[in-house]
Amino acid sequence: MVTIDKEKREKALQILKNSNDSKLLTHLNACVRCGLCAGSCMYYLAMKDAKFIPARKVDLVTSIYRRYLTTQGKLMPALFNAKDLDDKMADEMVDLLFGGCTMCGRCVKHCSIGVDISYIVKKGREMLAAMDMVPKTLQSTVDAAINTGNNMGIPTEEFVDTIQWMEEELVDEMQDANARIPLDEQNKHIFYTLNPREPKFFPLSITAMAKVFYAAGESWTLSSKNYDVTNYGYFNGNNAEATQIARNLYDEVKNLHADVLVLGECGHGSRANRWEGPNYLKKEYEFENITAVELMAQYIREGRIKLDKSLNKELMTIHDPCNLIRNGGLLKEMRFVINSAAENVVEMNPYGNDNFCCGGGGGKLAMSEYNERRLKIGGIKAEQIKKTGAKVVITPCHNCVDQLVQINHTYKLGVQIKTIAEIVADALIIDKKQ
Amino acid sequence: MIWYQWIAIIAFIICAIVLASDLVKLIKLGNPKDLSRKQGNVPAAIKYSFTGAMSPMAKESAYQHLPTYIGGLLYHMGTFLSLGLFIWFLINISLHAEMHVAIAIIFQIILWISALSGILILLKRIFKQELRSLSGADDYISNILTTLMQIATALFILNTSNEAFYFIVMALFFLWLPFGKTKHVLYFFAARYHLGYFYGWRGTWPQK
C-alpha cells in the first residue's frame, strides 16, 4: 500500500498549481454537483453505482484543490467540501480515475455547465502519476513503448519479417512485383504509422492500407523502429513519458525527411500526436500531421483512388472513436470516406459526437485488473450494434477494434469488425495501366 | 442609511471584489496556448457553446431531466431578478421611488415560483440517495441561501417592514457567493468559453 507523505502530496498538488492558461482554474471551480451528467456516463449506466457519476470523479480532484489551494478550504474544509489527499482518497482516485473512466468526454458535451470532466480526470491521473500510483499494468505498456519503441515490445526483426510477409501478400494480390511496403526510406512524401496490434494481431490491415497507397500511387514509408502511433503516456498521466513517446515519432519523421506524418487508425494515438504532440514537445510541427481517415478522404476527393461501393454490400454500421470524432472533429470526414466505400451503412443510436465509447478507451485495454468492468460497460455498445442489425462494424481505431472483438465474442453479436482502410481497400478499383 | 443596509452594501462590495479578482486572474491566465494546428473555427464554436449547445435538445442533462432543467432555469431567473432588485433597492434608498404595484406583483410571482423551484431542487438533493452521496455542506448552504434570498426579496417588494431581514439575508448571500459553489455565476461563463474553444480548435463544433 502506498502511503501519501508530504513530499508526494506536494508533487500531486504541483499538477494543480501548474497552469499556463485559465482552463484548469476554470474547470476546477465550475462543477455544481447537479449530478445530471450521470445518464451520459457508460460506467454509471452499466454499473448503476453512484460512485461512477462523472461529477463524483471531478469532485475527487476539485475537493483536493479546495482543501490545499483555496483560503476557504484551508480554513473551513467541512463547509466547502474540501478533502484531504490521504491514502483512502488516493486509492479512490486510482479506482475511479483509472478504473472508472475512459476519458471519452461524452459527459463533457452533455454537462449542464460545460465542465471538461475528462480534462479534470486527466489532471487527476497526472496527480497519481506524480505520486507513483499508476496501475502497474498500464505503466508496463508505457515502459515497453519507451524501452522498445512500441507498446507491445515487438522486436524489430519480428516486425520487419511481418512487413516483408505482408509485402509478399500485396505483390500477389496486386499481381505487380513493384507493389511495396517500404521500410526506412528517406525523402518520401508520407511517413505512415501503425498501432502495434496490427503487426502483432491484424497484419492484414497493414496490407489494406498499403493497397490504398498503391492505388493512389503514393510515395510513402514505414519506420522499422519508430512506427508506433499509440501513446499510452497520454493515459498514464506522466507527461514526461508521453513527451518522449511523441518525440520518437517526431524525430523519425525528421530523420527520414518525410513531408507528412500520417497517423494510422488509432483514436488515442491520433489525439496524442495530432493534438497533444506539439504541446508535449512545446513546438509547432514543421510537417503536416494528419490521420489516415483524412488522407483517404483526400485521395477520394482528388480522384487518386476510385472506389466501387457495390463491392461492400453488407449492412454496415460505424463505431465513432471518441478521440477522433468528439475530441477530434472528424465526424463528417469519416462518413465521407465510409459512404464512398460502402453501399449500405446504418447509424447507431446515438452516434457521432454523442456516440458511446466502446469501453476500451482511457488505457482500459492495458489494465487487465479492470477487464470485468470493461466488458460490462461494453454491453452498451453491444446493444447499440445489435439494434442496427448490421453485419459489419467499421471503426478507424485498433484499440476500439480490440474491444469490439471482445464485445462481439462476449455478447455473441456475430458481426465482423473492420477498419476503414480495410473497407476502402475492399472497394478499390485498381487501374492496372497505372 | 441603517446599519443592516451598510452590512449588505459591504458584503456586496466584498463579493464584487472577490469575483472581479477571480475574473482578472482568469483573463491574465488567458486562452490555452495550443501549438497544434487549428482545424476549426474557434469564435464560431464559442458562440455555439453559449447558444445552440445550450439548447435543451442538445444536452442530455436537459432533455433527460426536463422538470429539473425547467426548475433550474426558473431558479436562475429568480436569482438574477433578485440581484437586479437588490441594486434597485440600494438606489432607491436615496430616490424613494415607488415601484408600480402591478410590476411588484409580477416580480413577486416570479420570485415565489423561483423559490419553490429552489426548494424542490433542495428536496431532490436531500431525498435522492445518489445526489445526496455527491453533496456536501456547500451544496446545501448554497441552495438555502439562494432560495432564502429570493424569498426575502419577494417579501420585501411589497412589505418594507421586512427590511432588516431582507438586507441581512442579502449580506449573507453575498458573503457566501464568491466562496461557495455559487461562484459558478462566474465560472459557468468561463467553462462554456473553454468548451467552445476546445471543440472549436478541433473542428467538433459548431455542430453541423
Q: Would the pLDDT of A33 be above 80?
A: yes
What is the band of B81 on the pLDDT scale with cuts at 50, 70, 90?
A: very high
Q: Which residue has the cell 511496403?
A: A181
Residues A168 and A142 both lie in one domain:
yes
Contact A33 B62 (CB under 8 A): no
Distance CA A318, CA A138 (A): 28
Q: Is residue A198 part of a domain?
A: yes
Distance CA A108, CA A118 (A): 7
Determine the pLDDT at residue B97. 80
Nearest CA in chain A to B141: A79
Let me know: does A127 contact A17? Beta carbons within 8 Å: no
Determine the pLDDT at residue A19. 85
* Interface contacts A/B by beta carbons within 8 Å: 163
Residues A144 and A281 both lie in one domain:
yes
**What is the rounded average pLDDT of the residues A266-278?**
97
Contact B134 A53 (CB under 8 A): yes
Residue pLDDT, tens place only, A308-339: 999 999 999 999 999 999 999 999 999 999 99
**What is the rounded average pLDDT of the residues A346-351?**
97
List b or e across A203-215, with b for residues whose CB sees 16 or more CB atoms inside 10 angstroms. bebbbbbbbbbbb
Determine the pLDDT at residue A432. 67
Residues A332 and A420 both lie in one domain:
yes
Residues A310 and A323 both lie in one domain:
yes
Residues A419 and A327 both lie in one domain:
yes
* Chain B closest-CA separation from residue A113 CA (Å): 6
Residues A150 and A200 both lie in one domain:
yes
Residue pLDDT, tens place only, A140-188: 999 999 999 999 999 999 999 999 999 999 999 999 999 999 999 999 9
Residues A332 and A374 both lie in one domain:
yes
Structural domain containing residue A259: 138-293
Let me know: does A96 contact A60? Beta carbons within 8 Å: yes
Domain end call among A133, A157, A184: A133
Q: Is residue A69 part of a domain?
A: yes
Q: Give me the phi and psi of A389, to 5 degrees please.
A: 75, 10
In a 13 Å sphere around the CA of A52, the CA atoms on its Cβ side amount to: 18
* Chain B closest-CA separation from residue A74 CA (Å): 12
**What is the rounded average pLDDT of the residues A16-22?**
91
Residues A263 and A142 both lie in one domain:
yes
Q: What is the pTM of this model?
A: 0.95
* Chain A closest-CA separation from residue B83 CA (Å): 20
Which CATH number characterizes residue A366's domain?
A: 3.40.50
Write down the mean pLDDT value for chain A: 96
Q: Would the pLDDT of B110 be above 70?
A: yes
**What is the rounded average pLDDT of the residues A43-67?**
98
Residues A123 and A146 both lie in one domain:
no
Residue pLDDT, tens place only, B165-176: 999 999 999 999
Contact B190 A109 (CB under 8 A): no
Q: Is residue A128 part of a domain?
A: yes
Q: Is residue A1 part of a domain?
A: no
Q: Is residue A299 part of a domain?
A: no
Contact A26 B62 (CB under 8 A): no
Q: Is residue A298 part of a domain?
A: no
Which CATH number characterizes residue A24's domain?
A: 1.10.1060.10
Determine the pLDDT at residue A213. 98
Is the CB of B61 inside 8 Å of chain A's CB atoms? yes
Considering only CA atoms, which of A240, A270, A253, A222 is closest in space to residue A143? A240
Q: Is residue A197 part of a domain?
A: yes
Residues A144 and A273 both lie in one domain:
yes
| Percent of chain B with pLDDT strictly greater than 90 | 91
Residues A420 and A280 both lie in one domain:
no
Q: Would the pLDDT of A20 be above 90?
A: no
Is the CB of B47 inside 8 Å of chain A's CB atoms? no
Partner residue opposite A40 with nearest CB, options B49, B60, B198: B60
**What is the rounded average pLDDT of the residues B20-35?**
96
Domain end call among A81, A105, A133: A133
Is the CB of B38 inside 8 Å of chain A's CB atoms? no
Q: Read off the C-alpha cell for A379.
A: 454491453
**What is the rounded average pLDDT of the residues B145-153?**
98
* Residues with Cβ within 8 Å of residue A368, at least 6 apart in sequence: A137
Contact A289 B37 (CB under 8 A): yes
What is the band of A434 on the pLDDT scale with cuts at 50, 70, 90?
A: low
Determine the pLDDT at residue B208. 61
Domain end call among A87, A111, A133: A133
List b or e across A216-226, with b for residues whose CB sees 16 or more CB atoms inside 10 angstroms. bebebbbbebb
What is the band of B93 on the pLDDT scale with cuts at 50, 70, 90?
A: confident
SS3 state of residue B56: helix
Q: Would the pLDDT of A433 be above 60?
A: no
Contact A22 B34 (CB under 8 A): no
Residues A119 and A163 both lie in one domain:
no
- Residues of chain A in contact with residue B23, where contact means CB-CB under 8 angstroms, are none
Q: Would the pLDDT of B85 be above 90?
A: yes
Domain total of chain A: 3
Residue pLDDT, tens place only, A82-109: 999 999 999 999 999 999 999 999 999 9
Let me know: does B204 contact A327? Beta carbons within 8 Å: yes
Let me know: does B151 contact B173? Beta carbons within 8 Å: no
Q: Is residue A301 part of a domain?
A: no
